[in-house]
Amino acid sequence: MRRPLIAGNWKMNGRLADGRLLAEEIAQRVHRATETGVPPLPACDLLVCPPFTLLEAVHRALAGSGVLLGGQDCHPEACGAHTGDVSAAMLADLGCSYVIVGHSERRQNHGEDDALVRAKAAAAIAEDLVPIVCVGETEAERDEGRALAVVTGQVAGSLPELFEPPRLVLAYEPVWAIGTGKTATPEDAAEVHRAIRGALAERYGAEAAGAVRILYGGSVKPENAAALLGDADVDGALVGGASLKADDFWRIAEAVG
C-alpha cells in the first residue's frame, strides 16, 4: 500500500520571516491534530520544498512535527567549481530527505534535459535523498495526441538504472497546468499515471512499479484535490501556489488522507 505524499514546492518565494511563519503554521496544525485529534491528522506524508535560503530556518520550525523537508534542485556532482549550484550532500546536511529534479521550470528555463535530470536523480540517491522526478507534456504535445509518448519517453530518459523502489517518486505535471489554473481532467491524469506505472513495470518489474509513488501536479487546490487525487494510481500531489498558504496545503492533505 502506497502512503500518499503531499509535497509543497514553494519555488522562489518567501523571505526568512515568511518561510519561518509558513513552516510554523504547518507544524502547529500537525501538533494540534496529533494532540487533540481535531481535525484528525491527514493519513499522508507531508513535505515542503522551500528555496535553498530558507532550508535551515524551515528545518528548525518543523522540528518534531514529522513534516519532511526537501530541496527544489541539486547538482549532479558532489562538489566542485559550479558557481551558484547546490549538491545533494549539502541538502542532506540541512535536514532534507527529498529533492525535486527535472521540474518543467528547470527544463524550460535552464535547458535541463533527461540525461541531466537522470544524473541529478542518481546524485540524490547516492546521498540517500529521495528524488522527485518531474515529467509532463506541453500543451502543443497534448494537442498533437503525443502526451503519453512524451511522458513515457521522459520517464525512460530521466530515471536512473538503479534505485530502491519506494525511494524514488515521480511527479506527472502537465506543463500547461502549472501555475495556470488549468488542470488535467481526473480521467486524463489517471490515464497518464497508468501509462507511467506500466512503463515502470516494463523496466523495473511489477513489484518495483507498484511501490513507486506517482504524484499529480498542476494547479492543485483544495477545491479540486479530491477529484484529481481520487484514482488508485495517483499517490498524492506536488503543489506549487497553493502550498504557500498553510490552510490550503492542509486542506489538500485532508482531501487525500
Which residues are designated catalytic? 103, 173
Dihedral pair phi/psi, residue 151, rounded to 5°: -65, -45
Q: Kindly state whether residue 154 participates in binding ligand PEP, applying the rule CB under 6 A.
A: no
Q: Is 245 helix (H, G, I), strand (E, B) or coil?
A: coil
Please pick, from the candidates 39, 40, 66, 179, the single residue that binds ligand PEP as defined by CB under 6 A: 179
Give me 79's grid cell: 562538489
Rounded least distance, CB 238 to ligand PEP, Å: 5
CA 253, CA 69: separation in Å to the nearest integer?
16
50 binds ligand PEP (CB under 6 A): no
37 dihedral zone (left: phi>0; alpha: psi -120 to 50; beta): left
**CB of 218: closest distance to ligand PEP in angstroms?**
5
Stretch that binds ligand PEP, among 76-84, 110-118, 191-199, 235-243 (CB under 6 A): 235-243
Q: Residue 107: which of 157, 69, 67, 168 has the closest Cα?
A: 157
Size of the site for ligand PEP (CB under 6 A): 13
Verify binding: residue 72, ligand PEP, rule CB under 6 A: no
* Cell of residue 172, nine digits: 506527472
Residues 3-42 that bind ligand PEP (CB under 6 A): 9
Least CB distance to ligand PEP at residue 239 (A): 5
Q: By C-beta, is 130 or 204 nearer to ligand PEP?
A: 130
User: Which of 67, 131, 241, 255 touches ligand PEP by CB under 6 A?
Assistant: 241
Which residue number has the CB closest to ligand PEP?
240
Q: Is 214 in the site for ligand PEP (CB under 6 A)?
A: no
Of 101, 178, 189, 199, the one binding ligand PEP by CB under 6 A = 178
Q: What is the dihedral of CA 191, 216, 182, 136, to 10 degrees?
A: -70
Identify whether 186 is preceded by a cis peptide bond (ω within 30 of 0). no
Residue with the three cell numbers 511522458: 151
CB atoms within 10 A of CB 179: 13
For ligand PEP, give the closer residue by CB, 204 or 216: 216
Contacts of 213 (CB under 8 A, 6+ apart): 2, 3, 4, 5, 166, 169, 170, 235, 236
Q: At what angle are helices 147-158 and 114-126 packed, to 10 degrees?
A: 40
Per CB under 6 A, the list member of 19, 76, 102, 240 interacting with ligand PEP is 240
Residues 256 and 119: their CA atoms lie apart, in Å, by 31
Distance (Å, whole) CA 70 – CA 48: 6
Q: What's the closest the beta carbon of residue 202 comes to ligand PEP, in angstroms? A: 26
Told to check if 174 binds ligand PEP by CB under 6 A, we report no
Where do contacts with ligand PEP occur on this chain (CB under 6 A)?
A: 9, 173, 178-179, 217-220, 238-242
